[in-house]
Amino acid sequence: MADELRGRVALVTGASRGIGRATALALARLGCDCAITYASNAAAAASVTDELVALGVRGLALAANLADPAAAGALVGQTIEALGRIDILVNNAGLTRDGLAVRMSDADWDEVITVDLSAAFRLCRAALRPMLRQRSGRIVNVSSVAGVAGNPGQANYSAAKAGLLGMTRSLAKEVGGRGITVNAVAPGFIDTDMTAGLGGAVAERALAAVPAGRMGTPEEVAAAIAFLASPAAGYVNGHVLVVDGGLTGL
């Protein structure tokens, strides 16, 4: 198991912290070389690449503005140029701009849709070209239970994350015959910087709805992603793996 991804190359977006960082490290422990992207924290990204190298794989940090339509092709190209190929794409990068729908600005709607959904599509499109040529590949899109069940105050985020699920299922049907799988994970209440900003009362209400009685960890989500990226998941395609402690009952 330790070397089941030896010789493979992954591109993990938004991997300077949280679920993305945990995913890159989980893949590295299986022998996978990893390119990671970051938006602004170069020091944190450099620290992750140091951790990757310490695990015996190659690590590459790439700055990216995913709101730029040209970023996707550039990231895939840089990954292939530096690491030789691309076998795994994990679309993890995302942001929130929360607010009730009646007060949500067009800018807050557009920014979340652009980064959380449109950028993921462009990255899939760019990565699929070399994957189709090599007739193998794994794509894992990080959605959310907000995309499965909705969430008040997050119409933009929920729409983007639901869009990822529809895109995942469509792509799975398009490329499944070429040795490529496309799946998604839908994390619930996970202990990350995104949830750290919640007030105490909000966090308590959220936890009260989770049968597991606790927040999940980035490592638990990363383990699910690593499975879907592994050879063991070769017959899992178009699936949404919910990692939410029983919150949605799915």
**pTM, rounded to two decimals:** 0.95
DSSP string, 146-214: HHHH--TTBHHHHHHHHHHHHHHHHHHHHHGGGTEEEEEEEE-SB-SHHHHTS-HHHHHHHHHT-TTSS
Q: Which residue has the higher pLDDT, 2 or 93?
A: 93
Q: Which domains does the chain have, with CATH numbers?
A: 9-243 (3.40.50.720)
pLDDT, mean of residues 45-60: 98
Under 8 Å CB-to-CB from 136, ≥6 apart: which residues? 87, 179, 180
- Residue 157 designated active-site: yes
Q: Which of 86, 157, 228, 230 is catalytic?
A: 157
- Per-residue pLDDT reduced to its tens digit, 96-124: 999 999 999 999 999 999 999 999 999 99
Q: Are 65 and 71 in contact (CB under 8 A)?
A: yes
- Tell me how long the chain is: 250
pLDDT, residue 144, reads: 97
Pair 137, 207: CB distance under 8 Å: no
Q: Average pLDDT for residues 167-191, to the nearest whole number?
A: 97
Strands 9-12 and 88-91: parallel
DSSP assignment of 88-113: EEEE-------B-GGG--HHHHHHHH
